[in-house]
Amino acid sequence: MTAPVATRQLQSMLRDCRARTLELVVDLAPDQLLGPQLDIVNPLLWEIGHLAWFHEHFALRRLEGRNSLLPDADALYDSSAVPHDDRWTLPLPSLDRTLDYMRSVQDALLGRLAGPTASEDESYLYQLVTFHEDMHDEAFIYTRQTLGYPEPKLVDSGSPVDDTAGPWPGDVHVPGGSFKLGSARNARFVFDNEKWAHPVAVRPFRISRAPVTNAEFAAFVEGGGYRQRKFWGDEGWRWRESVRAEHPLYWQPEGRGFTVRRFERSEPLPPHQPVVHVNWYEASAWCRWAGRRLPTELEWEVAASTEPVAEDGLGERKRLYPWGDAPPGRGHANLEGGALCCVDVAAYAAGDSAWGCRQMIGNVWEWTASVFEPYPGFSPDAYQDYSEPWFGTRKVLRGGSWATRGRMITNTYRNFFTPERRDVFSGFRTATL
C-alpha cells in the first residue's frame, strides 16, 4: 500500500496538473477542441471532461460513495465503455459546462482532505488521478503537434536549463549478473504493471550513451533505408508499404537536408537532437541497418538504475533515477514541457546514470525490444483497465520525454504503445552484444 502523503502535497499536485490542462486547451477555438476524427487522438472537449470524470469516479466517489456531480457522466466519459469513434458524436456539454464540472470535482477533492497527512487510500487515489491527468496532458501536447495546432504557451516554458550542444556518441559496457526488475514494495507510488521487483539474470551488454540523433537517422534515410526490405521484417515492411513512409513523420526534404514541422511551423532539422516521432518499426529498421539492436526493457532498467561494483559486477542497490534517488531537478533532465522541444543529446550531464548513459530520463521516450507483458504475480489495481487489456499487444517504452511531468517518471515506469504509433514523443537508443 502507498505510504501516507502530506495533504498539502496532494492538494498542490491536483492544482498543478489542472493548471497545466487548462493551459493546453483554453487558447483553442471550438472547432479545434473537437478536431478531426482520427484513431490516434481524442476530441479535446471530450478528453478534458474525461479527466474530471476520472477524478470523480476513481477518487471522490470511491472514497465517499456519492453520486456523480454531472448527470450521465458515466455514459459520456467512461473510456472503458465509450467507443473511441463515438466520442465525436456524443451530446457533450459545452466548454463552459465542462469547465464547471471540472471545477466542482476539483473543489470537492481539495475540500475533503483534512489534517496534515492523508490516509493510505487517499494518498494512493489522489496520486493516481494526478498522474492520469499528467499522462493526458502529455497526450494533449502531441495531439496539438499531430493536428498542427499552435505551440502551447506554458507558464514554465522557456530555454532549457542545460543547452549544451552537440552529439554524445559511443557505448558503455554493463556487466551481467542478477537484477531485480520492477518496483520495490516500499516505492512511493507504483503502477500495477511495475509490481513487483523480481530477480532476473542479465547477460553483459553494451548500450549507447545517448539516443540516436537526427543526423544519425538521416544517414539511414539518405542511404535508401526506407526502400530496402531487408531492414524491416515482415510486419514492419507491411506498415511501411501501407503508409508509403520514406522518412520520419514530420520531416520534409529540402535541398540537401530536411526541415521538420514542429507544431504549426516548419524549422531546419536540428542534427544533434534525438530523432523523435519514429515508431518501433522505424527504430528496429535503423538498428538492423546499423548492425545494432534495441535494448530489452531489462537492459534499459539495468543501465538506468544499477551501479558498478568491484570486479566488473552489478551492485544490488537500485537508483530511483539514473542520477540517484533525489527527485528530478531542472538540471537533471529535459522534463515538464518547459523547453517545448527536444535538446541536443549532449545536454544534462548531471542526469547521467552510474554507467555513463545520458538522458535516460526526459527528452524522448525510448522504444525497447520488449513486448508489454505482466510481471510474475501481476494483479490489477483500482484502475483495472490501465494495463491488463494491453498485455501482449504493445511494445514497452522507457524514460519519459520533454513533455513528461517529473513527479510521475522513474527508472521503473513502463509506457506502452502499439508498434506503428509515431505521434508519440518517441525515439530510441541502441544496444549490442
Angle between helices 44-55 and 120-146 (to 10 degrees): 180
Give the predicted TM-score (pTM) of the model.
Answer: 0.97
Q: State the Cα–Cα distance between residues 332 and 410, nearest whole angstrom.
A: 13
Q: What's CA 81's distance to the chain center, in Å?
A: 24
DSSP letter string, 135-179: HHHHHHHHHHHHTTPPPP--TT-SS-S----S----EEEE--EEE
Give pLDDT, residue 157. Answer: 58
β-partners of residue 172 are 207
Asked whether 347 and 161 are in contact (CB, 8 A), the reply is no
Q: State the Cα–Cα distance between residues 352 and 358, nearest whole angstrom.
A: 5
Instruction: Give φ, ψ of 50 to 5 degrees.
Output: -60, -35
Give pLDDT, residue 158. Answer: 58
Domains of the chain: 7-146 (1.20.120.450), 156-433 (3.90.1580.10)
Give pLDDT, residue 161. Answer: 81
β-partners of residue 179 are 200
Pairing of strands 365-371, 426-427: parallel
Task: Using alpha carbons, select from 225, 238, 251, 192 the residue that is nearest to residue 377.
Answer: 192
β-partners of residue 371 are 395
Q: Going residue by residue through the chain, which has 433 residues, state the pLDDT in tens, using 9 for 90 and above.
A: 588 999 999 999 999 999 999 999 999 999 999 999 999 999 999 999 999 999 999 999 999 998 999 999 999 999 999 999 999 999 999 999 999 999 999 999 999 999 999 999 999 999 999 999 999 999 999 999 999 999 999 987 556 788 889 999 999 999 999 999 999 998 989 999 999 999 999 999 999 999 999 999 999 999 999 999 999 999 999 999 999 999 999 999 999 999 999 999 999 999 999 999 999 999 999 999 999 999 999 999 999 999 999 777 898 899 999 999 999 998 999 999 989 999 999 999 999 999 999 999 999 999 999 999 999 999 999 999 999 999 999 999 999 999 999 999 999 999 999 999 999 999 999 999 8
Classify residue 315 as left (phi > 0), alpha (psi -120 to 50) or beta: beta
Classify residue 288 as left (phi > 0), alpha (psi -120 to 50) or beta: alpha
Give pLDDT, residue 338. Answer: 86
Asked whether 141 and 337 are in contact (CB, 8 A), the reply is yes
